[in-house]
Amino acid sequence: MITVVGTGTGMPLPADALATADLVVGGRRHLDAVRLPEGARRIVLGPPAPALDAIERCLDQGRRVVVLASGDPGFFGIVRMLAERFGPERLDVRPGVSSVVAAFARLGLPWDDAVVVSAHGRAARTAVNVCRARPKVAVLTGPGAGPAELGAALADGCAERVLVVASALGDPEHERVERVTPAEAAARDWGAAVSVVLCLDPSRTLGPVRTVAGPPPGPSGWALEESAFAHRDSMITKFEVRALALARLGPRLGELVWDVGAGSGSVAVECARLGAAAVAVERTGDGVERIRANAAAHGVDVHVVHGAAPDALTPLADPDAVFVGGGGRELPDIVTVCARRARRAVVVALAALDRVPPVREALVAAGFSCDGVLLHSSRLAPLPGDVTRLAATNPVFLLWGTRPPARHEGVVQ
């Protein structure tokens, strides 16, 4: 049997946990904090394979193993690895209080509506995108993905967020819980004692009563009617086009989507409603205001960039997927820049037949497989006398490029 004990966030070590242990495995600070029984061997947990092999040999000899871990070892912890190797029936798990629970408790906030994302041993980009998209996020940090890196990524576009950096939770002498802006977090060296970082929108820390914990359920519908958005002179991606564009973009939690030439921002807003972090790039001032109003009306976060592509794209973080609307002679150049930087997909809506070949060439040249369709729909429209006709909408070409699966990585692990 392997006894897995969660420690380090204020929970005392169970009195019987170590009494008969033959092998104790854990981080150096966990091992240094306990007194091992006489004759017990200890292994400082580093690369997991040697420790797992030692545990297996010990079990084969009928000896008792104790694994020390932080907080709740079943929450982004070592329980998964042990259960996969040895089977859950051989584990006796004694959970402590996780750093996420402890951090929210220090603030007096509920956390059933928080999204928890691990950046420990992973790239920070997924955590950053979740922080951009959701108002209450807990980030389990790691080297290269700590408060400074999160703050630097969020300072532009999410400056209103508050980062709560909780360090050495459960240590009465060294515990610290500090509220900082993203810019302040980026400017500091936080050391190795950080337990968890909370990223909060101060205006939305207390959401409605929940039935299901975690991120909110997805929207009940998408490809919303044009009337759901403020727009100018019908300059908006029609819902039939938007439906297929969203299907090809595949926006999801943890990803970043650009809406370039956003107009009303309808595509960016819909991507945000589906959980993605969204950036809308728009060159007109009145368009920028409409996008902000539409995002607010639908209760989502959309970072709006006032500028003309492709130059306005330079400082932005690389996207997972890009939607390009509008036209003009510069369209192939814009698509080229987007295709070079997109990790997964680029979708382009255009009305002019002459623009189709150069856009397709730009996608193929960037290594995408390319496909497309001409969408020409007719909608029901009333006529006098309580009868109905079909009213044709303007035809639109939709082209999309996707990278081969081996060249892009999954996001939500």
In a domain, 412, yes or no: no
Tens of pLDDT along 174-222? 899 999 999 999 999 999 889 999 999 999 998 888 888 888 888 989 9
Whether residue 303 contacts residue 158, with contact meaning beta carbons closer than 8 Å, is answered with: yes
Give the total number of structural domains in the chain: 3
312: Cβ–Cβ under 8 A, 6 or more apart, which residues?
Answer: 281, 283, 305, 306
Mean pLDDT of the chain: 92
Kind of pairing between the strands at 256-260 and 277-282: parallel
* Span 348-397, pLDDT tens digits: 999 999 999 999 999 999 999 999 999 999 999 999 999 999 999 899 99
Looking at the structure, do residues 261 and 382 belong to the same domain, yes or no? yes
- CA distances 199 to 100, 147, 205, 273, Å, are 12, 10, 10, 19
Do residues 267 and 355 share a domain? yes
Residues 65-117 pLDDT 10s: 999 998 899 999 999 999 999 999 999 999 989 999 999 999 999 999 999 99
Q: What's 238's domain CATH number?
A: 3.40.50.150
> Among 64, 97, 130, which residue terminates a domain?
97
Report if residue 220 sits inside a domain.
no
The span from the CA of 37 to the CA of 42, in Å, is 10
What integer pLDDT is reported at residue 413 of this predicted model? Answer: 43
From 40, 69, 97, the end of a domain falls on 97
239 and 345 fall within a common domain: yes
Question: Residue 90 belongs to a domain with what CATH number?
Answer: 3.40.1010.10
- 75 lies in some domain: yes
What whole-number distance in Å separates Cα of residue 34 and Cα of residue 203?
A: 43
Q: Using the 8-state DSSP alphabet, how is residue 302 labeled? A: E
Same domain (yes/no): 55, 107: no
Q: Residue 392: CB partners within 8 Å, gap ≥ 6?
A: 376, 377, 378
Whether 16 is covered by a domain: the verdict is yes
E strand map for 82-146: 91-94, 115-118, 136-140
In a domain, 318, yes or no: yes
Domain-terminating residue out of 46, 76, 97: 97
Strand partners, 176: 167
Of 89, 90, 92, 88, the closest CA to residue 5 belongs to: 92
Residues 106 and 243 in one domain: no
Per-residue pLDDT band at 56 (split at 50, 70, 90): very high
Residues 175 and 255 in one domain: no
Regarding whether 123 and 93 lie in a shared domain, the answer is no
Domain membership of residue 213 (yes or no) is no
- 379 plus 247 within the same structural domain: yes
Residues 86, 109 within the same domain:
no
| Count of C-beta atoms within a 10 Å radius of residue 310 | 16
Tell me, yes or no, whether 217 lies in a domain: no
State which residues form the domain around 289: 226-407
Name the residue type at position 413: Q
DSSP assignment of 68-98 equals EEES-TTSSSTHHHHHHHH-GGGEEEE----
pTM over 0.85: yes
Q: How far lies 213's CA from each of 138, 162, 248, in Å?
A: 14, 22, 29
- Shared domain check, 151 and 281: no
The CATH code of the domain that includes 113 is 3.30.950.10
User: What pLDDT shows up at residue 30?
Assistant: 84
Do residue 333 and residue 239 come from a single domain?
Answer: yes
Say yes or no: 92 and 14 in one domain.
yes
Residue 150 CB neighbour total at 10 angstroms:
27
With bands split at pLDDT 50, 70 and 90, how would you rate the model's confidence at 408? Answer: very low
406: confidence class by pLDDT, cuts 50, 70, 90: low
